[in-house]
Amino acid sequence: MRREENNLARKILIAGNWKMNGLSGQLEEVRKISEGCSATVGEVDILVCPPATLLRTVRDAAHSDLLVGAQNCHAKEKGAHTGDISAEMLRDAGASHVIVGHSERRADHSECCATVRSKLEAAHRAGLVAIVCIGETLEEREAGEALRVLERQLENSLHDDVTAGNTIIAYEPIWAIGTGKTASAGDVAEVHSHLRRRLVERFGQEIGTSLRLLYGGSVQPTNAASLLSVEDVDGALVGGASLKAQDFLAICEAARNYR
């Protein structure tokens, strides 16, 4: 099934989140991704987000068309924040994007929507494109609260100056991250349609319809085509499969078929 024509203006993005994985010895995978995606880049945006220790190294090793991003940033530009990294530092290291509000950050570091919003503002201050993650737990979904939870996260994590050029939204059901479980195409369609309506209501027709909505949560070569064919799915935030060039490139190729 092909995506509807009105989605074609929103270029598909396949983003790989390496999480806390990756040493310099794995740069060969970056080179394979960079070389392998050469036919896809241009039709599909391809982004890898390695740990901060590899940002500059990956940027230098990758083809210029392969986007490189970070996994988190601090809200402040600089200061006495031992161990933290500012958005400006990430930009200086070669990043063009940064993930904010991932459920693992929200859970492991007690990041609330206000914190996510401050990091979003920091990303924009530094000229980075922010990928804002939202998602519900299994308990919230089973209680019928998923859409309400996602709506609240969307509302409180974004500021009013969001545009399609500086922000991307990623829906990642928490119960599907790293579990092997994947939301059904119907589940994803319901959520993305709901999010699209809320974005249009808040930001107006032009911005609301141009913001990209990614799906994340156990995206694999075997299910990528099905997920990417869903209306209002403008790409994927890929976890474990992005660590293997062969798997990640297979997902990128699936994306090209639904551009």
Query: 29, 74, 88, 102: which is the annotated catalytic residue?
Result: 102
Strand partners, 246: none
Distance CA 234, CA 176 (A): 18
Sign of CA dihedral 236, 241, 244, 246: negative
Phi-psi region of 22 (alpha: psi -120 to 50; beta: other; left: phi over 0): left
74 is an active site residue: no
Contacts of 124 (CB under 8 A, 6+ apart): 130, 161, 166, 167
DSSP 20: S
Catalytic residue among 172, 192, 194, 253: 172
Distance CA 84, CA 81 (A): 6
Query: Does residue 194 have an active-site annotation?
Result: no
Residues serving a catalytic function are: 102, 172
